[in-house]
């Protein structure tokens, strides 16, 4: 009688043994929690399509940041919804801008919590695009890539000046990582790292976020600057460019439908890799859980393990607080 070499079934019946040989773990140390800052006082406005996520004024962002820190989470990612939008998104870089004020207040109240800022124009432009729009005619328009770079530089610098620990450009303009690195270095912020949204697809999974950040494009879509969902090799080109321009962390976005891309980057790069479990992924799980169709905690844990198994070091997720609460 021949016995197969590998017969771990009996051992697999105990959790102790499973834990001993487990290849992947996820901890709250790996998670970043996104927050949406809005003008005003005492604002805590629920986002309809994202149960459990709120737009908050700076005072409430500070309270939230304290809670996040007390739960043992290392970092937040800040988005801002400005008082006023215009065609250039000028409130993205003013000193009294919403994100700048939120960063300052959080760093003052919770200095040891890492504050990461999203650098983009789409929340700040009246047209909702991530760059300067030229020639808009019957839905036909172009984005002025190079003119946009200067504005992104200003935004990133203003975040660093406010005290941001790391900036995360999400606009997908070509050359923005190099441009932001240069302006930060020239102004004494050599120590502020860049987490680049290196591989960002033109995805329909961002739908609920556009409610949260009030940044749905008023015409057209983002396919001229975000990546074609069908492309895999292009992910390597985008990530290579960002690395060469000085990115410290490479991000893949969305998350779960793009685990193959995370795994590909893991094989090809030695930089830390972040995965963004985006709004649509969050809303799907929440909706199913609210209907009693899925067990939320178990599914969330499984999804986070999947990111880590694919090779992500960091996961940006709206479930970060829930996960941290479940794991204390
Ligand atoms: C753009 C930005 C988006 C997200 C993060 N940064 C939206 C977009 O590109 O349309 C999406 C995040 C999510 O869906 O949770 N500033």
pLDDT tens-digit profile of 239-249? 999 999 999 99
Tokens of 34: 């996104």
Quote the CATH superfamily of domain 25-327.
Aldolase class I (3.20.20.70)
Query: How far is it, in rounded angstroms, from Cα 192 to Cα 159?
Result: 10
Q: From ligand 1's centre to the CA of 208, what distance in Å?
A: 9
Catalytic pick from 28, 88, 200, 286?
A: 200
Give the Cα separation of 268 and 255 in Å (integer): 18
Mean pLDDT of 182-201: 97
Please state the rounded mean pLDDT for residues 123-152.
Answer: 89
> Would you place residue 71 in the very low, low, confident or very high pLDDT band (cuts 50, 70, 90)?
very high
Distance from Cα 248 to the centre of ligand 1, integer Å: 20
Nearest to 319 by CA among 292, 284, 273: 284
β-pairing verdict for 44-46 and 140-144? unpaired
Length of the chain: 328
Q: How far apart are CA 317 and CA 255, in angstroms?
A: 10
Q: What is the pLDDT averaged over residues 293-307?
A: 98
Which of the pair, 142 or 230, is modelled with greater confidence? 230
pLDDT value, residue 314: 98
Ligand 1 atom at minimum distance from 206 CA: 14
In the structure, what pLDDT confidence band is assigned to residue 223 with cuts at 50, 70 and 90?
confident
- Compute, in angstroms, the gap from residue 236 CA to the centroid of ligand 1: 21
Residue 6: the pLDDT is 67
Output the CA torsion 152→154→156→160 (10° steps). Answer: 180
Rg over CA atoms, the chain: 20
Question: Which of ligand 1's atoms lies nearest the C-alpha of 318?
Answer: 15
Which of 85, 122, 284 best tests ligand 1's pocket when mutated (most atoms within 8 Å of CB)?
Answer: 122
What confidence score (pLDDT) does residue 198 get?
A: 95
Q: Report CA(80)–ligand 1 centroid distance (Å).
A: 12
> What is the residue-averaged pLDDT of the chain?
94
pLDDT above 70 for 295: yes
Give, in order, the Cα–Cα distances in Å from 229 to each of 202, 226, 303, 319: 6, 9, 20, 24
Share of the chain above pLDDT 70, in %: 96
d(CA 255, CA 200): 10
277: which DSSP letter?
E
Give the mean pLDDT of 167-174. 93
pLDDT band at 275 (very low <50, low <70, confident <90, very high): very high
CB 317 less than 6 A from any atom of ligand 1: no
Is residue 9 predicted with pLDDT exceeding 80? no
Give yes or no for residue 170 CB within 6 A of ligand 1: yes
What does the alpha-carbon distance between residue 183 and residue 190 come to, in Å, rounded to a whole number?
9
Taking alpha carbons only, the member of 118, 111, 105 closest to residue 62 is 105
253 classed as catalytic: yes
CB of residue 278 inside a 6 A radius of ligand 1: yes
- Select from 119, 209, 216 the residue to mutate for testing ligand 1; criterion: most ligand atoms less than 8 Å from CB: 209
In the set 85, 88, 253, 321, the catalytic residue is 253
DSSP for 214-232, written as a single string: T---SSS-STTTSBPTT-S
286 catalytically annotated: no
- For the chain, what is the total number of helices (H) and then of strands (E)? 11, 12
pLDDT of residue 1: 58
Task: Quickly list DSSP for 52-108.
Answer: T-EEE-HHHHHHHHHHHHHTT--EEEEEE--S--BTT-GGGT-TT-HHHHHHHHHHH
Q: What are the φ and ψ backbone dihedral angles of 141, each rounded to 5 degrees? A: -150, 165
Nearest atom (ligand 1) to Cα of 123:
16
Average pLDDT of span 4-23: 80
Q: Is the CB of 120 under 6 A from ligand 1?
A: yes
Please state the pTM of the whole predicted model. Answer: 0.95
């Amino acid at each position: 009688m021949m016995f197969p070499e590998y017969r771990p079934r009996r051992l697999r019946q105990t959790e102790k043994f499973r834990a001993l040989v487990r290849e992947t773990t996820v901890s709250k140390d790996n998670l970043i929690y996104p927050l949406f800052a809005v003008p005003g006082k005492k604002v805590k406005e629920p986002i309809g399509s994202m149960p459990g996520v709120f737009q908050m004024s700076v005072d409430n962002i500070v309270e939230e940041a304290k809670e996040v820190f007390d739960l043992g989470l290392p970092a937040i990612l800040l988005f801002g919804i400005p008082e006023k939008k215009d065609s250039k998104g000028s409130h993205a870089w003013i000193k009294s801008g919403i994100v700048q004020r939120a960063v300052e207040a959080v760093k003052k109240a919770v200095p040891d919590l890492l504050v990461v800022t999203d650098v983009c124009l789409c929340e700040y432009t009246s047209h909702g695009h991530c760059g300067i729009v030229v020639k808009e005619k019957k839905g036909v328009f172009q984005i002025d890539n190079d003119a946009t770079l200067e504005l992104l530089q200003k935004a990133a610098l203003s975040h660093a000046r406010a005290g941001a620990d790391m900036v995360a450009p999400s606009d997908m303009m070509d050359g923005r990582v190099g441009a932001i690195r240069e302006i930060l270095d020239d102004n004494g912020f050599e120590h502020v790292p860049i987490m680049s949204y290196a591989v960002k697809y033109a995805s329909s999974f961002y739908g609920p976020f556009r409610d949260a950040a009030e940044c749905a494009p008023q015409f057209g879509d983002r396919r001229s600057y975000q990546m074609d969902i069908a492309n895999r090799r292009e992910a390597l080109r985008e990530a290579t460019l960002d690395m060469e321009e000085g990115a410290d962390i490479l991000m893949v976005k969305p998350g779960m439908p793009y685990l193959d891309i995370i795994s590909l980057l893991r094989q090809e790069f030695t930089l830390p890799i972040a995965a963004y479990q985006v709004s649509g992924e969050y809303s799907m799980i929440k909706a199913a859980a609210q209907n009693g169709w899925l067990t939320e905690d178990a599914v969330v844990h499984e999804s986070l393990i999947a990111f880590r198994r694919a090779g992500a070091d960091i996961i940006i997720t709206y479930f970060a607080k829930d996960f941290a609460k479940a794991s204390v």
